[in-house]
Amino acid sequence: MLQAPQRTALSGPALIRLLARLADVDVPESRQSLSDRLSQWLGWTDAIALSSALSGNPPAVAAGARSFGSAEESEYVRARSSLAKTITGDSVFAADRRRGPAHGSAQASSQNAPAEPAADYAVFRQRYLSIQQSMEMAIGNLRGRLRGMLATRTPAMARLAVVDAVMERALGERERTLLAGVPVLLAGHFERLRAAEQATLAAAEAADDLGSDAASNAAALPPGAWLNVFRKDMQSVLLAELDVRLQPVEGLLAALRAS
């Protein structure tokens, strides 16, 4: 008996693992080192700026630096919580709680259940892009403030702040391009879920017409259930993306705690 090949377990961020599962693709681990990949992503002007930041004299540190404390930690927690609530509380992603009867034939279920509203992926795509913009703006502002504080600590921390600024400037456009591709991947997931439910309901109706007991397997499936599954999946992807976007901020916070 043939067995389906097992997918290679990914060790990357949750966002990558989640997208690979939803897109139903096997993503091989990259054989390139981080330095090799960075060399491909950085332009020559970015490479010069990064080299200067790493090898040049550290920036001068102004006296009277404000101490790092709970205010900055609280600001990070508030920003993260606010963005997470924006995702989980968005009305576009709210589940439709209308349900048809959970018994009887599939045909009766389709007749008695409320009609499924027309599902247009463009609405979800636009909302996803809007939340991405909110994340980029809020996290960018927080990152800049923390970097400014880091620059006032010690020469070594000031150098780190310069390196972070160079990396943000160099990789920002690439990050936006890559993350803008996420809604494209989710469009395929949207269509696959809809097609799978339509096929299930069609098969159940055909079995019901023939008087087969197989129709009872789909009788409890409310029309439009696939859309609630998709909404939940899109929320999960956005939350995973939020974690990725916050990684540089968490690195700056860790440096401030250690300074």
Task: pLDDT tens for the chain, 259 residues: list them.
Answer: 334 344 455 556 899 889 989 987 776 667 777 777 777 788 878 888 888 888 877 776 666 556 666 788 889 999 999 999 999 999 998 877 654 444 444 444 444 444 455 679 999 999 999 999 999 999 999 999 999 888 888 888 889 999 999 999 989 999 999 999 999 999 999 999 999 888 887 777 777 666 555 555 555 567 678 999 999 999 999 999 999 999 999 999 999 888 7
Quick one: 215 exposed, middle or buried, by C-beta within 10 A (0-12, 13-18, 19+)?
A: buried
The pLDDT score that the predictor gives to residue 220 is 57
Model confidence, pTM: 0.81
Where are the alpha helices (H) located in the chain, listed in sequence order? 14-23, 34-41, 44-55, 70-88, 106-112, 121-150, 155-180, 182-209, 216-219, 225-258
Q: How do residues 153-200 score in pLDDT, each as one tens digit? A: 888 888 999 999 999 998 999 999 999 999 999 999 999 999 988 888
The pLDDT score that the predictor gives to residue 65 is 58
Q: Give domain limits for the chain.
A: 121-259
The pLDDT score that the predictor gives to residue 192 is 93
Contact 227, 190 (CB under 8 A): no
Rounded CA separation 134/140 (Å): 10
The pLDDT score that the predictor gives to residue 123 is 95
CB neighbour list of residue 110: distance below 8 Å, 6 or more residues apart: 100, 201, 205, 223
Residue 60 CB: number of other CB atoms within 10 A? 9
